[in-house]
């Protein structure tokens, strides 16, 4: 197990523990679409093949759950968030990104954390396609924040000038969710 720094109130575990708000949705890559919209100059809808044609990166990052567990050194592979920003050109007033999952889940991410170099749209985890329980086929991964901000089953990213709370944020979770500051709840 890891011996590096651990955010306050966390303990190391060997693997992420899946949690969903509903049944794991089915995915058909031939029908996959990622909608990119909101306060952007160039809204887009990407097919799976178009997503794969974008730049791809590998990111090694610890993964921290608000419930107190952390997984060291998870390898994520996918499209860096910066490539999405370059594609859609968010307007200067953008302050938040809302991630939408296929099962109805949403979460708000501060734009500054979306722009973090480690943030990506992951299609692979630890050298294999994302398992269904971890968001297949696509998951937003925001390593600088608690795991609930890393929305699974990603189907849309909405760029907004003002805060709009997502599923857990409406239920009292912190709007930012920085594990190093223990921003668990408002």
Beta strands in 49-177 (DSSP E): 57-64, 69-80, 96-101, 106-110, 120-125, 128-129, 139-141, 154-160
Two structure tokens written together for 177 = 């969710």
Do strands 69-80 and 11-12 pair parallel, antiparallel, or not at all (unpaired)? Answer: parallel
Structural domains in the chain, sorted by start: 33-181 (3.90.420.10)
Residue 22 pLDDT: 79
Residue 1 pLDDT: 54
Residues sharing a CB contact under 8 Å with residue 104, sequence separation 6 or more, in sequence order:
21, 22, 167
Q: How far apart are CA 56 and CA 74, in angstroms?
A: 16
The full length of the chain comes to 186
Cα 171 vs. chain centroid, distance in angstroms?
A: 19
Q: How far apart are CA 168 and CA 171, in angstroms?
A: 5
Give, as one character, the DSSP assignment of residue 185. B
Q: How far apart are CA 175 and CA 99, in angstroms?
A: 13
Q: Give the pLDDT mean for 46-65.
A: 97
Q: How far apart are CA 143 and CA 63, in angstroms?
A: 6
Quick check: helix, strand or coil at residue 36? strand
Q: Give the pLDDT mean for 4-11.
A: 91
Two structure tokens written together for 118 = 């480690």
Residue 183 — pLDDT band, cuts 50, 70, 90?
Answer: very high
pLDDT per residue as tens digits for the range 76-129: 999 999 999 999 999 999 999 999 999 899 999 999 999 999 999 999 999 999
Q: How far apart are CA 9 and CA 66, in angstroms?
A: 9
């Amino acid at each position: 197990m890891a011996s590096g720094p651990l955010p306050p109130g966390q303990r190391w575990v060997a693997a992420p523990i899946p949690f969903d708000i509903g049944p794991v949705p089915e995915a058909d890559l031939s029908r996959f679409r990622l909608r990119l919209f909101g306060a952007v100059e160039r809204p887009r809808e990407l097919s799976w093949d178009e997503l794969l044609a974008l730049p791809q990166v590998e990111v090694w990052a610890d993964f921290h759950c608000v419930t107190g567990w952390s997984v060291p050194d998870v390898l994520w592979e996918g499209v860096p968030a910066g490539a999405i920003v370059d594609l859609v050109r968010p307007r200067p007033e953008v302050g938040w990104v809302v991630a939408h999952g296929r099962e109805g889940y949403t979460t708000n991410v501060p734009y500054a954390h979306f722009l973090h170099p480690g943030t990506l749209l992951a299609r692979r985890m630890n050298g294999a396609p994302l398992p269904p329980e971890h968001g297949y086929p696509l998951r937003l991964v925001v390593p600088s924040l608690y795991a609930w901000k890393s929305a699974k089953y990603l189907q849309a990213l909405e760029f907004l000038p003002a805060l709009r709370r997502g599923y857990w944020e409406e239920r009292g979770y912190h709007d930012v969710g920085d594990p190093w500051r223990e921003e668990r709840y408002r």
